[in-house]
Amino acid sequence: MKERVRSEVLRKKIMSAEKASRFIQDGMTVGTSGFTPAGYPKAVPLALAKRAKEGERLKINLITGASVGEELDGELAKAGVVERRYPYQTNGDMRNKINSGDVKFSDIHLSHMPRWIKYGFFGNIDVAVIEAVALNEDGSIVPSTSIGCSNALVEKAEKVIIEINTSQPIDLEGIHDVYDIENPPHTKPIPLTKVEEKIGVPYIKCPIEKIAAVVVTDIKDSTRDVAPIDEDSKIMAQHIVDFLVKESKEGRLPEKLLPLQSGVGSVANAILGGLKETKFEDLEIYSEVLQDSVFDLMDAGKIKFASGTSLTISPNRLEDFYKNLHKYRRNIILRPEEISNNPEIIRRLGVIAMNTAIEFDIYGNVNSTNISGSRMMNGIGGSGDFARNAYLSIFMTKSTAKGGDISSIVPFVKHVDHTEHDVHVVVTEQGLADLRGLSPRERVEKIIENCVHPKFKEHLRNYVKSAEKNCKYKHTPHDFNEAFKN
C-alpha cells in the first residue's frame, strides 16, 4: 500500500467503505469522479446504497463528470438516494427515475460543469469522492481512468474521500495532465496549441488535510463490450469519410485533416474504421472518450496522438491494453473535461466534431436528448461544446427508428439541443447533406433528397408543400397543426 498511498498520514486514514460513507449525510451535495463507466468510485456508493436500503433516510445531490457505472448511478438510483442529478447519465435505473419524475435532473454542457462548481452555482460541495490509482505524499491525487470534473470538485469540496482502486494499474500514472483554470477576472489563456502538449501536472492538487478517508477497493470499471459495427453505421461512416476526403481535396480542410472528436458507439467506431482505408496519416483525436477503436487505429499506425478525459476500454481488450500501456502512454493524454471540452481549445485546434442525433428536422435542428420531446435519454453531454466550436460540425443518425416505423427526420424536432446555427452537415445511411451557407428552404430540399428514407420522402414533401401554402412567411415555413402528426 506504500506504493499507492504514499503518505503516512493518509495511510492512517484508510478505513472501510462503510465507515468512509458516514462522511456523507442526508441533504448533502456530493461530487464524484467518473466519465463514462470509467474512473468512478464504487465502494463508497455501494455502502451508501446499503445504508439507504437498510432504512436510513438519505437523499443527496449527485454531481459527476458525466455518466458513471452501475455501482454509482444504478445502485443509488435504485436505493432512492438521489434527489438531484447533474449533468449527464446513461444508466437505465437512473434514467427511469428521471423520467418518472423521482430524480430532478438538470442537463448541462459538460464544459460548463467545472465552472459552475467553481463559481458556486451548485452551492457548497460537501464531499468529493474520487477514484485514484495513488495518493502522493502531499495529498495530491493520481486519478485512474478518467478525470472529468474531479479537479474542480476537489478544489471546492469541504471533504474528500479517496477510493484507491487496485484493479487500476499504477502504470496509469503519468497519462494525466491536469491544468486548473482560475475564475474570472483572473482567467489566463490556456496555453494548449497542440493535441499532444502537456500544460499541467500529472495529478489533482489537494490539501492533505481535506482528505477525510481513504478506501481501498478492487472493483473493476463496468465498461461494456463494443457492439459489432452494423451495416448502416458502416455506410454512414463511409459518407463522412468521403466528405472529409472531398473537403481536403478542395482545400477547405488541411491535407492532414484536423483533430477528430467523435461520440461513443457503433458509428463513431465505424468512422475511425473507415479512416483506416484512406490516405490520411498522423491523425489526431481531441475528444472526450478514448475507446477501443482509437487504439485499433493507433496500432494500424494511423493515429499519432489522442487526447481525452476518459479511457473506456472494453473488457475484451483490457488485458491487451494494459499489457501495451507502456507503448500507448506515449500517445495519449487524459485531461480535465474543462480542457477536453473547452470552447477555447476546440476552436483553436479546429476540431472536426461528429455526434449522434436522436432525430433532426428538415431545417437542420437536432434533438439529441429527449425521445418524443419528453423522455430523457442521456443528456447533451459534450456534444454542444464540440458542435458549437468545431471547424466542422457533423450530426448523424439512422434515417429511421423503431425498426423502420418512424422517420428520424421530422418536420420539427420535439426537443432542440443543437440549433440550425450549429449544424453544418447531417448524415444518415441514405446520404449526407452539407448545409453550410444554405437558406432554410434550400436545406429542406437537400435533407429530404439526401438523408430521408425513401418511404418517408413523400410524407415530408407533402408537409413542406402544405407549410409553404399555409404559411404567410417563406423564410422557414411551418404548419404547426401538421408538424407533430406522425
Q: Which of residues 228-267 bind its own copies (CB under 8 A)?
A: 251-252, 254, 256, 258
Residues 55/26, Cβ–Cβ less than 8 Å? no
Q: Which of residues 55-94 bind its own copies (CB under 8 A)?
A: 84, 86
The residue count for binding its own copies (CB under 8 A) is 80
Q: Which stretch binds its own copies (CB under 8 A): 131-139, 190-198, 205-213, 395-403?
A: 190-198
Stretch that binds its own copies, among 150-158, 274-282, 322-330, 469-477 (CB under 8 A): 469-477
Asked if residue 185 binds its own copies (CB under 8 A), the reply is yes
| Residue 403 near its own copies by CB under 8 A | no
Burial class (CB in 10 A: 0-12, 13-18, 19+), 447: buried
Catalytic residue among 155, 173, 288, 337: 288
- Exactly one of 22, 205, 234, 375 binds its own copies (CB under 8 A); that residue is 375
Length of the chain: 486
DSSP string for residues in 340-404: HT-HHHHHHHT-EEEEE-SEEETTS-EE-SEETTTEE-S--TTHHHHHHH-SEEEEE--SEEGGG
In the bound state with its own copies, the residue whose beta carbon lies nearer, of 216 and 471, is: 471
- Cβ pair 77, 45 in contact under 8 A: no
The residue among 312 and 341 lying less far from its own copies, judged by its C-beta, is: 341
190 near its own copies, rule: CB under 8 A: yes
Residue 421 within binding range of its own copies, rule CB under 8 A: yes
Within 10 angstroms of residue 321's Cβ, the number of other Cβ atoms is 16
- Specify the amino acid at residue 296: D
Indicate the residue among 167 and 481 with the shorter CB distance to its own copies.
Answer: 481
Least spacing, CB of residue 474 vs its own copies, in Å: 3
Selected from 212, 236, 313, 380, the binder of its own copies by CB under 8 A is: 380
**Cα torsion through 217, 219, 220, 222, rounded to 10:** -130
Interface positions, 20-59, toward its own copies (CB under 8 A): none
Q: What is the largest CA-CA distance in the chain?
A: 78
Residues 431-450 that bind its own copies (CB under 8 A): 436-439, 441-442
Of 8, 54, 55, 191, which lies in the binding site for its own copies, with binding defined by CB under 8 A?
191
Which residue number, 11 or 302, has a Cβ lying nearer to its own copies? 302
Nearer to its own copies, 18 or 83 (CB): 83
- Residue 67 · residue 89 · CB < 8 Å: yes
Q: Is 15 in the site for its own copies (CB under 8 A)?
A: no
- Report the C-alpha gap between 142 and 169 in whole angstroms: 11
8 is catalytic: no
Is residue 388 a contact residue for its own copies (CB under 8 A)? yes
347-386 burial code (b ≥16 CB/10 A, e <16): eebbbbbbbbbbbbbbbbbbbbbbeeeeebebbbbbbbbb
State how beta strands 406-407 and 400-401 pair: antiparallel
The C-alpha cell that represents 222 in the structure block: 463496468
Identify residues 287-326 at the interface with its own copies (CB under 8 A): none
**DSSP state at residue 145:** S
Could you tell me if 81 and 49 are in contact, meaning their C-beta atoms sit under 8 angstroms apart?
yes
Q: Is 469 in the site for its own copies (CB under 8 A)?
A: no
Contacts of its own copies in 145-184 (CB under 8 A)? 183-184
For its own copies, which residue of 70, 73, 107, 131 counts as binding (CB under 8 A)? 107
Active site residues: 288
